[in-house]
Each structure stands twice: as structure tokens, then as C-alpha cells.
């Protein structure tokens, strides 16, 4: 018995020592794995009660309280929010692969065909295949140059329509620009996609039912997409009940969009089957690729590429031009400087600007870049998700954490930018901004590949408007610069302005230049 007692005592001591060692190791591990700070979460919903719009402003206020890296819980989903250049660089630079996935949000399953679009697919072979096709077949430098005539045509059609509206009044005219810009960019995207346009030059032109439906679809998609809607983070039973009707709206959007896009594909396919050459359009290029390798480019892939290009390009580009015009109207000397540069570049005889002029219009580019800084197309970059456990700014970020990068806050960081709230295009002249965190198109593997296309569309639209008209604010008050909400960054109050054709442009606007 004495021997057994001794053995039992030794085992007990050893077990106690082991437990103490494990507890100490656990405490050391906890200290090493420092979690980001954050506000107290509520049961079930987490921090969804903090979803006050616009969300990027709400998250910026939380960052001021909790730090540049903090954590939230959207329902049961863990979220890390990054609001500093240093932390964003760490996530999208050295940790780029770790954060290259996309969160599988329920809205993405519906709207993005089970997360198969380039923007929603997680990092891997399928995403690389889709991105390769997009970059080489649709967004290459050569293809963007080929689309320039479409962009020029639609920019000129818009200013001619404005001129005719002003000529009828024989004086300066008033215009609500948001609608006109949306029509311009919608025509441009549809022209690139399938050589179709919806809107004519006349202000009173009849708008088709299909065009009205298309616009409503784009706006509703932007409203319901991304991390800006709480529906994605509700418990499954709450989404099933669908009290607010969000799920039904998403399903209706997908069904209508699929019918629309498949109709465009079938129309082009029938023309090619009859022996007509493939149009120099996105759909024509992709159908040619499909004929060469059907498995590499099925109809669903064509639909996802067209959907991503059309809805993102239309809304974000229109918003950017509207923000740029609002900033210029609030800063007349900048508007005059941009106009003088265009006039000097064009010279004599006077003609409308074209895509080949854009590389020479350095100040116009600075205006666009400063607009992107103040009002980035995606104020919260499209959400990322961690594929592995990792560390950011000394904080432990577990696998499966959704990452939100607050571009809006980073672009207005006073430690990074002088006078961050001011509109100063000169900050982008002569490489002055090099080395500063400027990510309107994201960075790393998931960087938006359509930067050249977007800059061409925005540059031609904005440059043509500046060249052709004198612009004034409506009233003495500054233009309202309040931000709306959604995946992109629309103005809360659509821009209205007075315009009058410039004497030097009248012969261009009245003709078929």
C-alpha cells in the first residue's frame, strides 16, 4: 500500500505540474495572441446595431475611438477593420496571399452566381482563370484603346444634347448631372459590351422601358451588395423569414439580370452563326474565345464578366465625374486651370478632345486623382477574408476573419496628407504624392484591373464637359458634398448646375465633329 500511495502521489504531482505548465503556456499564448480592441458586442447581432450609414464614416469614428485596427462582430462573423496606411500596407502587401480570399456573403451567392464573378471568387485556380481572361481579352491596353471611339462618341453625344437643350432657351441652362452622367456611362458600357445604346442626344428623347429597368437594377444592386447591408450577417433563420424582403429583391435582381445578359449573348451568337463577323465588343470577343475552347469560356463566365464590367463601370465612373464636377464648381480657380490646359493642348484648329490627348492633360489627371482621394469609388474596399491565422499591427487575426479596409479614412489621414479635407490637385503633380497610401483601385492581387479603362472613361467625360461649357453653381452656396451610402460612393444630393456653351465650342457642338 505504501508503494501504491507513493506512486499515486508522484502521478498527482506530475499531473499538477503538467496542468500548471499548460496554464502558463496558455497565458503566454494569450499574451502573444493579442486580439484587436473593439466595442462591446450585443448577443446574436454583435455590432449590427452600429450599421449607421454611410458606413465608412461610422467605421472612421470607431477607429478614432478604438484604434487603426479594431474588431467587430457582424452577427456571428468576425470582422477586422483597418483604417491606417501602415496596417493596410501590411494586409495587402506582405500578407496579400493571406487576405486574398473573399467572404462568402449570402448576397454574393445570389447576385454573383455562387461567388463566381471575378470580384467575389476566392483566391485560387478559378479566380486566376477568370482574371486572366478579363485582363488579356477585355482590359488589356490594346482593348482599352479600341474602346476609345465608343467613349469619345458618347461623351460628344452628351455635350451635344446639353448644347441643344441650352440653345432652345437661348441662354444658360440648368441641368441635373447625375442622370446625364449615368446615361453617358451606361451607353458607353453597353456600346463596349454589345454595340447597343439606350439614350439619344435629345434631352426630351423617349427613354425605353428596358433602359429604365436597367438603371433601377444597377442602383439596387449597388445598394444591396458588399458589406454595407446587415442582411448578409443575420442568422440563417432571420434571412429565411426575410422580414424586410431583401432576399426576394436579390432573387428578383438575379433572375432579371440573367435573362437580360443571356439575351445579349444569344443575339450575338445568332449573328455569328449566320456568318457575320464577331463584333469588336466584349461579348463578341468572349464568344470567339468560347468557339476556340468552350470549356474555358462558357456562357455563365461571359455573363459574370459582363455583369461585373457593366454595373461597376457605369456606377463608379458616373459617381466620380459627378464628384469631380462638384469639387470644381466649389473651386472655380481649379476649373479654370483645367480648362486652360485643355485649350493649350488642343491648339488650333479647335477640336473636341480625344483619348490620345489624355496622357498630355497632366492637370486634368491630377483633378481626377484628387477626386479619387477624397471620394474613392469604393470607400471600403471590397471585403477580403483571411485564409490563415496571421498578425496585423501586432494583433492576432484568426482564419476566416472578414477584413474591411477603410480607404476613405486612409485617404483623409492627417498624418499622411497635408490639409486632407481640402481639394488640392497639385498634390499629385510631379510625383509629389509618391510613397503615400493611395488605393482607389485597391492593391495587391485583388487590385481592380480596370484602372486604365476607368481613367479613360472618366477623363473623356470630364474633359469634354470642361472644354465645351462654362459652369456655375446654382445659387451662392457651395455644392452640397454629403455622401450617400452603398457599395460605391454616390452623392447624397444629385448635382445641379448652370452651364453655357463656350463661344469656341459652338461650331463643334452644333456640327457632327
Helix axes 209-224, 246-273, angle to 10 degrees: 130
Other beta carbons within 10 angstroms of residue 193's beta carbon come to 25
What stretch of H or E contains 80?
A: strand 77-82
End-to-end CA distance of the chain: 109
**Cβ–Cβ < 8 Å for 430, 409:** no
Task: Give me Rg for the CA atoms of the chain.
Answer: 27
Count the neighbouring beta carbons within 10 Å of the beta carbon of residue 483: 17
Q: Would you state the cell numbers that stand for residue 228, as one nine-digit string?
A: 454595407
Q: What is the Cα 27 distance to its own chain's centre?
A: 43
Cis before 54? omega within 30? yes
Question: At CA 202, angle to CA 199 and CA 204, rounded to 5?
Answer: 90
Whole-Å CA distances, 438 to 93, 179, 352, 408, 427: 13, 29, 31, 10, 12
Q: Is 306 annotated as a binding residue?
A: no
| Collapsed DSSP state (helix, strand, coil) of residue 491 | strand
Which of 450, 444, 405, 199 has the alpha carbon at shortest distance from 313? 450
What is the C-alpha to C-alpha distance for residues 257 and 47, in angstroms, rounded to an integer?
A: 33
Find the length of the chain: 513
Q: Which cell numbers hold the place of 81? A: 477593420
Strand partners, 396: 391
Q: In this structure, what DSSP letter does residue 421 have?
A: T
**466/475 Cα distance (integer angstroms):** 20
Residues tagged in the binding site annotation for heme? 448
Residues tagged in the binding site annotation? 448
Amino acid at each position: 500500500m505504501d508503494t501504491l500511495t507513493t506512486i499515486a502521489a508522484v502521478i498527482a504531482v506530475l499531473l499538477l505540474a503538467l496542468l500548471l505548465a499548460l496554464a502558463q503556456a496558455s497565458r503566454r499564448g494569450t499574451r502573444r495572441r493579442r486580439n484587436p480592441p473593439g466595442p462591446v458586442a450585443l448577443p446574436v447581432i454583435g455590432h449590427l446595431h452600429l450599421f449607421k450609414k454611410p458606413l465608412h464614416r461610422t467605421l472612421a469614428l470607431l477607429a478614432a475611438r478604438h484604434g487603426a485596427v479594431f474588431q467587430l462582430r457582424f452577427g456571428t462573423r468576425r470582422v477586422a477593420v483597418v483604417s491606417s496606411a501602415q496596417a493596410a500596407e501590411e494586409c495587402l502587401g506582405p500578407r496579400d496571399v493571406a487576405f486574398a480570399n473573399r467572404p462568402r456573403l449570402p448576397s454574393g451567392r445570389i447576385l454573383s452566381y455562387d461567388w463566381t464573378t471575378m470580384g467575389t471568387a476566392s483566391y485560387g485556380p478559378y479566380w486566376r482563370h477568370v482574371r486572366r481572361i478579363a485582363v488579356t481579352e477585355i482590359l488589356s491596353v490594346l482593348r482599352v484603346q479600341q474602346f476609345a471611339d465608343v467613349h469619345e462618341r458618347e461623351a460628344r453625344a452628351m455635350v451635344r444634347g446639353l448644347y441643344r437643350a441650352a440653345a432652345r432657351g437661348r441662354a444658360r441652362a440648368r441641368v441635373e448631372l447625375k442622370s446625364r452622367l449615368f446615361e453617358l456611362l451606361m451607353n458607353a458600357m453597353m456600346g463596349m459590351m454589345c454595340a447597343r445604346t439606350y439614350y439619344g442626344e435629345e434631352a426630351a428623347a423617349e427613354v425605353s422601358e428596358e433602359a429604365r429597368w436597367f438603371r433601377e437594377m444597377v442602383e439596387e444592386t449597388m445598394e444591396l451588395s458588399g458589406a454595407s447591408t446587415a442582411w448578409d450577417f443575420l442568422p440563417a433563420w432571420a434571412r429565411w423569414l426575410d422580414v424586410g424582403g431583401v432576399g426576394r429583391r436579390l432573387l428578383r435582381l438575379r433572375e432579371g439580370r440573367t435573362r437580360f445578359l443571356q439575351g445579349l449573348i444569344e443575339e450575338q451568337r445568332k449573328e455569328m452563326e449566320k456568318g457575320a463577323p464577331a463584333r469588336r465588343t466584349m461579348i463578341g470577343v468572349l464568344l470567339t474565345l468560347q468557339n476556340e475552347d468552350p470549356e474555358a469560356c462558357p456562357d455563365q463566365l461571359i455573363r459574370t464578366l459582363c455583369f461585373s464590367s457593366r454595373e461597376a463601370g457605369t456606377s463608379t465612373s458616373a459617381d466620380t465625374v459627378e464628384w469631380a464636377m462638384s469639387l470644381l464648381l466649389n473651386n472655380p480657380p481649379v476649373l479654370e486651370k483645367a480648362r486652360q490646359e485643355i485649350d493649350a493642348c488642343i491648339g488650333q484648329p479647335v477640336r473636341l478632345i480625344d483619348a490620345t490627348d489624355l496622357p498630355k492633360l497632366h492637370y486634368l489627371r491630377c483633378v481626377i486623382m484628387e477626386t479619387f482621394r477624397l471620394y474613392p469609388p469604393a470607400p471600403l474596399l471590397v471585403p477580403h477574408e483571411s485564409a490563415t491565422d496571421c498578425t496585423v499591427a501586432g494583433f492576432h487575426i484568426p482564419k476566416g476573419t472578414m477584413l474591411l479596409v477603410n480607404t476613405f479614412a486612409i485617404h483623409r489621414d492627417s498624418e499622411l496628407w497635408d490639409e486632407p479635407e481640402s481639394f488640392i490637385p497639385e498634390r499629385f503633380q510631379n510625383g509629389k504624392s509618391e510613397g503615400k497610401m493611395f488605393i482607389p483601385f485597391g492593391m495587391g492581387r485583388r487590385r481592380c484591373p480596370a484602372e486604365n479603362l476607368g481613367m479613360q472613361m472618366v477623363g473623356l467625360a470630364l474633359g469634354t464637359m470642361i472644354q465645351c461649357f462654362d459652369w456655375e453653381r446654382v445659387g451662392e452656396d457651395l455644392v452640397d458634398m454629403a455622401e450617400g451610402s452603398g457599395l460605391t460612393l454616390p452623392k447624397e444630393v444629385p448635382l445641379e448646375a448652370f452651364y453655357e456653351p463656350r463661344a469656341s465650342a459652338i461650331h463643334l457642338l452644333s456640327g457632327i465633329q
